[in-house]
Chains A and B, each alone.
Chain A
Amino acid sequence: MTTIAHPVSPFRRTVTAIGVQNSSLLLTLIALVILMSSLNENFLRTNNLLLIGSAITIMGLLSLVQTLVIILGALDISVGSMAGLASVVSAMVFTSTGSSAVGTLAAIGVGVVCGLVNGMIIIFGRVNPVVATLAMLATYKGIAQVISDGKAQGYTGADDLFIFLAKGSLAGLPTLVWVFLLVAAVLHFLLRYTDIGRNIYAIGGNDTAARLAGININRYIIGVYALVGVVAAIAGLLITARTGSGQPTSGSEGLELLAVTGAALGGTMLKGGKGSIVSTVLAVIILGVLNNGMSGLGVNPFWQNMATGTLLVVAVVLQQVRGGERRVGLPV
């Protein structure tokens, strides 16, 4: 056999190296940045870019873990409520103990418990993940409202840890952005390099095959939901830090849909088994740039919603066309 050297264009080679999905996301992002900066001279200023970074963190964190759950073949729409509950708990525990560390741990503990409850309802109650987490979306929100009487709780704006989280920076980047990047890096590592990640892809790809190959899929499902709880709690802590108090609903309501939007725009397949953290990060940045850019241009927020929705539909339609799906019945 002789090897025939095919002339491969540098463009093609780059696309293959970073993947078609990421390439198209990257091209979209570049186009968007060029468009926004040509319309608004302030867009590319450092302050504005840092603002985008801070603005996407909370929603971005939830998109990252949503990606993980979707790869597993499930969905968690209680993430916003978990963040709200964690936010209230962090502020209330901080107020009663005076320690932001204890408040933080309490919030993360609440996140773990909520996530475990989600996972156990799904596994042992045999409830469809969407229905289970829909029920818990209402339940966790209700708990947050009951314990806070529906009001913002405590004042955390004078505490060093919360100030650092909300306004601090390290090496020129806001703490918020660091949190997002750190969580993204950990999840990326988990998915790409560990056996845990391989098994998550396997379960999402074919749960029967995964089970018969010896993977304890119940343990993985519960574990992933618990991890979602932890990250949702971190998002809740950031809400507390940014607003200076524990918020039962404001700042967290509707986040579950933004989380799914980020994951779906990143090309995560809703039937499971396919998706990547890098793609979701790119998608989240695109959404941040779109919103920030339109705000900077003074576009009415109602139009921004429409733009987000249109972008998502166009992106998914393009993915499906490329995948060559037959146009019969409900798509997967």
Chain B
Amino acid sequence: MATSESTAVLTAEGIGKRFSGVTALDGVTLDFRPGEVLALMGENGAGKSTLLRVLSGDHGPDDGHLVIDGAPVTFDSPRAAMAAGIRVIYQEPEIIPHVSVAENVFVGELPARGRLVNRRTLHRMTREALREYGFEGVLRPETLGSRLSPAQRQLVEILRVLTATSPPKVIAFDEPTSSLSEHEVDALFALIRRLRDSGVAVVYVSHRMKEIFQLADRVAVLRDGSLIGVEDAASTDENRLVRMMIGRDLSTLERRATQETGRVVLRLDRVSTDDVTDISLEVRAGEVVCLAGLVGAGRSELAHAIVGDLPVRSGTVELDGKPLRARTPGDAVKAGIGFAPEERKTDALLMQRSVRDNVSIAVLDRLRRFRVVRRAKERELVAEYVRELRVRTPSMEQEVRKLSGGNQQKTVLARWLARRPKLLILDEPTRGVDVGAKAEIYRIIDGLAAEGIALLVISSDLPEVLSLADRIVVLRAGRVAGALDRDDATEEAVLTLAIPATEDAEDTEEIAS
């Protein structure tokens, strides 16, 4: 241990981070060594992104601290972390849309005489950087930021880091290959190896085992915010890492009892939108259908299209056997569909308003007499669902932003239960929710299915999908890759359908760009 500490360029010591009561990181101690690729693995929500945000100075840790070259440091901003040589390359980098690639790369450090930017020097520097790092032909210095594909945006971010005046000591990549084509991945890997050989400490976050074993020297596994262990890549194997990631909790997740399912409530027939193609699926009353797939497969976009928030280009949506042509979410609500979107803080909740306002918003048309809201009836209804879903709040007048993530999500669920929909669409219902609340949300979903509501649940959490679903429909690059009955479903089977095989890579790229 003493030797590793002496060689580490950066050490995280007992880092803990909580968000409104939910523990995102708990006592994580990890060192980052020069000339080494450290892979960071873990399921969605294990705390990888939070750890990166602590490293980059985006979040201050609640416990513990970072140590650089033996001295403890605190970063009060991303700028301070950059100055110390720590850079994080996120999946969705900030790109200024109306300026060129060259200006995007050198933003903040434009070559200038006085205040005048020297555009010719700028473009020459950009071309040189592109040549040096092997991205020639992938990017042009003149292209506007708004015209870049996701892969190109990421390359711009990488160039920003590499051309910075203070040379980076630690570079973290957050799932860099998810938007890259095979050719670009090769270039990126060559670059990462070069960085490592030049003495940079590289942190590499990925779900893809193959990549981990190609690149990593050590693998750190996080689960539920805790560091489970660090393995030498040479002496570990895939099974062992998967066991570390999933832990024993998997077996404790009980499968729902099978329900008698009823009539078909939702039927999609060859539905195409701008993001998905030829989607056909059915959800029956009392049935839970999970939409699985990688982030970006088009699951959320499909949900938004069903409720009329995005246009359906072709195909038909039927609700209870009748064609549904929802042009706005309002049409879908009237037809009997409830929708809890993925981003509950920005897309579902009125954060500054009370639990009562947030629950009753979708049922005001049933609570009014001559347009006057009947307050007593409203309070009665809200109280009923707050009690039923066990929303932990001092009173129904509490502002929603003061509740924990789990109770916020239960507030959204209460809204739709109060509406009594035929179909409920839940997009990532347990994201950012602590373990206890998760179990309660599963119980609620169970109860709804038992009452005969049809449920379409989007989730990236595989154990959750396996435990909840009666049927799993897997999307890949905007198309249905396959459907699994609960008895045939394993994590492996779902992942095999979700992850594009190599020959599919071209297709994915086309759809993504």
Q: State in angstroms the CA–CA spacing of A195 and B378 once bound together.
A: 11
Instruction: Say whether, besides A209-B347, A213-B362, A214-B330, A198 and B373 are in contact (CB < 8 Å).
Output: yes
| CB atoms of B352 and A205 under 8 A apart | yes
Q: Give the residues in chain B near A196, CB-CB below 8 Å.
A: 371
Closest B residue to A214 by beta carbon equals B333
What bracket does the count of chain B residues touching chain A fall in? 20 to 34
Q: Give the residues in chain A near B350, CB-CB below 8 Å.
A: 201-202, 205-206, 209-210, 273
| CB atoms of B349 and A202 under 8 A apart | no
Q: State in angstroms the CA–CA spacing of A196 and B367 once bound together.
A: 12
Q: Flag whether A302 is at the interface (Cβ < 8 A).
A: no
Q: State in angstroms the CA–CA spacing of A273 and B354 once bound together.
A: 12
Query: How many Å from the CB of A217 to the closest CB on chain B?
Result: 9
Query: How many Å from the CB of B319 to the closest CB on chain A?
Result: 15
Q: State in angstroms the CA–CA spacing of A281 and B239 once bound together.
A: 69
Q: Flag whether B332 is at the interface (Cβ < 8 A).
A: yes
Q: State in angstroms the CA–CA spacing of A202 and B415 once bound together.
A: 14
Q: Flag whether A139 is at the interface (Cβ < 8 A).
A: no
Q: State in angstroms the CA–CA spacing of A214 and B330 once bound together.
A: 4
| CB atoms of B357 and A212 under 8 A apart | no
What is the size, in residues, of chain A's interface with B at 8 Å between Cβ atoms? 22
Q: Give the residues in chain B near A214, CB-CB below 8 Å.
A: 329-330, 332-334, 362
Q: Give the residues in chain B near A274, CB-CB below 8 Å.
A: 352
| CB atoms of A213 and B329 under 8 A apart | yes
Q: Flag whether B237 is at the interface (Cβ < 8 A).
A: no
Closest B residue to A273 by beta carbon equals B352
Q: Give the residues in chain A near B348, CB-CB below 8 Å.
A: 209, 212-213
| CB atoms of B347 and A212 under 8 A apart | yes
Instruction: Say whether, besides A198-B357, A198-B361, A213 and B333 are in contact (CB < 8 Å).
Output: yes
| CB atoms of A199 and B339 under 8 A apart | no
Instruction: Say whether, besides A201-B353, A205-B352, A206-B351, A211 and B373 are in contact (CB < 8 Å).
Output: no
- Chain A positions within 8 Å of B, measured between CB atoms, are 193-196, 198-199, 201-202, 205-206, 208-216, 218, 273-274
13 examples of A-B residue contacts, CB within 8 angstroms: A194-B372, A195-B365, A198-B361, A206-B347, A208-B346, A209-B346, A209-B361, A211-B309, A213-B348, A213-B361, A214-B333, A214-B362, A215-B361
- Chain B positions within 8 Å of A, measured between CB atoms, are 307, 309, 328-330, 332-334, 339, 341, 346-353, 357, 360-362, 364-365, 367-368, 371-373, 415
Q: A194-B373, A201-B357, A209-B347 are in contact. List 15 more A-B contacts (CB 8 A).
A: A195-B364, A195-B365, A196-B371, A201-B353, A205-B351, A206-B347, A206-B350, A206-B351, A210-B350, A212-B307, A212-B348, A213-B348, A216-B330, A218-B328, A273-B352
